[in-house]
Structure 1
Amino acid sequence: MWVAHLNRLPTRVRLVSWGLNIPSSCCLCSVMEETREHLLLRCVFSAQIWHLVQSKLRLSPCIFISWTSLLVWMKLKIEFAPPILRKLVSHATVYHVWKQRNNLLHNGSSLSPLATFKEIDREIRNTITARRNRKAFRSLMLLWIR
């Protein structure tokens, strides 16, 4: 997440800017150029995952138009979806979208958005369970699984 935040992920647009002779189109949708914002927020693949995440949190669907809008969304104080839960989910989503991009690029295979969301769900449950004795994590499982 930190590398993504610093916009240092080796997206295809960045690789082209370094002189590599590769297509700059998104690995997951082949429609737009593969930038951080497109790949992690606006690509059809990632947008479907964000929609599933927001539905799970019982939040209104929100399309992130920029990295800043994601950061603002993570910090909003909503009782049934506190910032710590949205930060966990955001980190997991960014990681799993990047993982699927790399899997498709290097292995020629990728999971569906729904299967990727199930991996994110499992990771969130495991993260909360591992930290359940910490005060900030005590009520998160109920908020996530309801």
Structure 2
Amino acid sequence: MADIGAGEVALVQLQEDSSHPPTRIKVSSVLNRDVKQFGKKFMFDGDEETCWNSDQGSPQFVSIELPYSACVSRVHIRFQGGFASTHCILASGSEQHSFYPEDINSLQVFPVPSAEPSKTHKIEFRTSTDFYGRLTVYQLQLYGQVCH
């Protein structure tokens, strides 16, 4: 896990290492079911040229199952302008927190006030700026503290 400071770490790790199994990710859809080009792993690979593209329809979601309980303190997300969500809900355990991204290409950071520890964190994209309800996410990461 990458240490960010003040005890925060990047929580989503797709590579298995000796101390933790990999994070499990589920998404609502993939554009044309083309997971080789638009699959979920591309949100977390650190490559600014790759992305997850959803198929049409709202709402869409990303569900993240960590191998440990964690308290999320921030969500980082970068959409493609024109294919963004302007109303998102992070569900961690029984708590829900709404945040409202802009329809821009830049990385956006949203603080999460006092999330409860949970292994499962789901982001629901309630809206899309695309007429057909498609989303394009180039980068997604949850930051927070691991709770042992």
Give the TM-score normalised by structure 2.
0.32
**If you compute each CA radius of gyration, which structure gives the higher value, 1 or 2?**
1
Decide which structure has greater strand share: 2
Q: Return the structure number with greater relative CO, CA threshold 8 A, min gap 6.
A: 2
Give the TM-score normalised by structure 1.
0.32
